[in-house]
């Protein structure tokens, strides 16, 4: 592994990238968020001039972004404006059942779990936002086990039920807020078919062309639901010989993206049922045990992995690269350092 040094902040393809961090979430609808730095780096790769601090301001000051458990029962960063519809569609009851099963394995009965959710709801309504450590202390005082996994899964349960959401940053930790205190009153539930049409349209805007199975895998929904959503917007889709769907209004791609340093859990790997076309035989290197490493993207395929250590960018290449690619990666490394400058020491997430 060697250090990538030198270069200036990248400016290639700037006109094709969203101009602000909220527009990235709008375009992609949901960015996987259990790796705090990875979610921020997803914004960097799709904007020009933004910083990690800008993302934190959107979470903390403007309340325009939130992070919570949604698609596939996994943490995602989304626009606050999209919270209610996406939560209604993807925070499915089976994820709550899974939480209760895990809590039972940690010695927490269903009744005690309900007590814990009530403790969280009262505390956030009265004194929120609060960090997980603060809420864990309250749960322990209420008689729940002090095991850190207990607090996490009680908070996950409260979040899946639409009570809590990860809102502002307090130091390097996402604090939890009461949903209605943070985002306002819940609007009326949409018609289910209208909601599926909305989901299909928004998904294709950021991930098209794609299939019904891609949408189902990404959202964690039955494929029959994905087909209903796509059928509802069929008049707005463009026919493709490969059978994948895309919006008729979607701009045609102008070739491969420039070389990029993408963060952990980047949406490039998580928007479709298969990621083999990106990983190009390196899946075991980029992904392992459910974790996705930061990686180098060259000509649309993984070409290495990288790490940010001590303020430096260290790249481990799969093979030698042409001089012009190395120059582009040097510029990317400089931009990563610029983007992360002043970043607080982020607390790791466990789910």
CB 260 within 8 A of CB 295: no
Strands (E), the chain: 2-3, 31-32, 65-69, 75-79, 164-170, 173-178, 237-238, 246-247, 260-262, 287-288, 291-292, 295-298, 301-309, 312-317
Q: What is the pLDDT along the chain (351 residues), one digit of tens a residue?
A: 655 544 333 333 333 343 478 999 999 999 999 999 999 999 999 999 999 999 999 999 999 999 999 999 999 999 999 999 999 999 999 999 999 999 999 999 999 999 999 999 999 999 989 999 999 999 999 999 988 799 999 999 999 999 999 999 998 899 999 999 999 999 999 999 999 999 999 999 999 999 999 999 999 999 999 999 999 999 999 988 998 999 999 877 667 789 999 999 999 999 999 999 999 899 888 887 889 999 999 999 999 999 999 999 999 999 999 999 999 999 999 999 999 997 777 666 655
Listed by start position, the domains of the chain span: 93-161, 192-247
Beta bridge partner(s), residue 94: none
Residue with tokens 């979040």: 159
Token digits of residue 204? 């294709």
What is each CA distance from 13 to 9, 17, 31, 253, 260, in whole angstroms?
12, 7, 21, 12, 11
Q: How far is residue 294 from each of residues 32, 110, 150, 301, 332, measured CA to CA in Å?
A: 13, 38, 29, 13, 13
CB atoms within 10 A of CB 238: 15
Fold assignment, 192-247: Arc Repressor Mutant, subunit A (1.10.10)
Nearest Cα to 229, choosing from 197, 190, 188?
A: 197
CB atoms inside a 10 Å sphere around CB 291: 11
Residue whose token pair is 């069929």: 234
| pLDDT at 251 (0 to 100) | 78
Rounded to 5°, angle at Cα 13 from 9 and 16: 125
Task: Report how far residue 67's alpha carbon sits from residue 76's, in angstroms, rounded to the nearest whole number.
Answer: 5
Q: Give the pLDDT confidence score for residue 348 in this predicted structure.
A: 62
What's the full length of the chain, in residues?
Answer: 351
Residue 224, exposed/middle/buried by CB under 10 A (0-12, 13-18, 19+)? Answer: exposed
Tokens of 155: 């908070």
DSSP symbols for 104-161: HHTT--HHHHHHHHHHHHHHHHHH-SB-HHHHHHHHHHTT----HHHHHHHHHHHHHT
- Is the sign of the CA dihedral 89, 90, 96, 101 positive or negative? positive
């Amino acid at each position: 592994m060697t250090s990538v040094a030198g270069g200036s902040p990248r400016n290639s393809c700037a006109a094709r990238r969203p101009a602000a961090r909220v527009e990235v979430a709008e375009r992609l609808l949901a960015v996987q968020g259990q790796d705090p730095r990875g979610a921020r780096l997803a914004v960097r790769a799709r904007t020009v001039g933004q910083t990690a601090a800008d993302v934190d301001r959107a979470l903390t000051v403007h309340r325009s972004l939130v992070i919570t458990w949604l698609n596939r029962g996994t943490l995602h960063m989304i626009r606050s404006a999209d919270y209610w519809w996406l939560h209604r569609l993807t925070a499915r009851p089976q994820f709550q059942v899974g939480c209760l099963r895990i809590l039972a394995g940690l010695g927490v009965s269903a009744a005690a779990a309900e007590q814990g959710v009530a403790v969280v709801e009262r505390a956030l309504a009265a004194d929120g936002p609060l960090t997980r450590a603060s809420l864990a202390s309250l749960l322990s005082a209420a008689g729940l086990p002090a095991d850190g996994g207990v607090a996490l899964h009680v908070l996950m349960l409260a979040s899946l039920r639409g009570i809590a959401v990860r809102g502002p940053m307090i130091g390097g930790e996402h604090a939890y807020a009461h949903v209605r205190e943070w985002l306002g009153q819940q609007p009326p539930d949409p018609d289910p078919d209208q909601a599926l049409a909305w989901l299909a349209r928004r998904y294709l805007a950021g991930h098209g062309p794609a299939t019904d199975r891609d949408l189902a895998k990404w959202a964690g929904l039955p494929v029959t639901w994905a087909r209903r959503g796509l059928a509802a917007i069929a008049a707005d889709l463009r026919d493709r010989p490969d059978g994948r769907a895309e919006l008729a209004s979607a701009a045609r791609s102008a070739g491969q993206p420039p070389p990029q340093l993408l963060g952990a859990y980047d949406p490039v790997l998580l928007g479709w049922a298969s990621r083999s076309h990106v990983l190009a035989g390196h899946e075991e290197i980029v992904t392992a045990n459910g974790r996705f490493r930061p990686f180098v993207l060259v000509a649309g395929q993984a070409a290495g992995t990288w790490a940010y250590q001590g303020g430096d960018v260290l790249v481990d290449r799969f093979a030698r690269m042409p001089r012009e690619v190395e120059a582009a990666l040097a510029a990317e490394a400089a931009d990563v350092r610029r983007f992360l400058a002043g970043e607080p020491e982020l607390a790791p997430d466990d789910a």
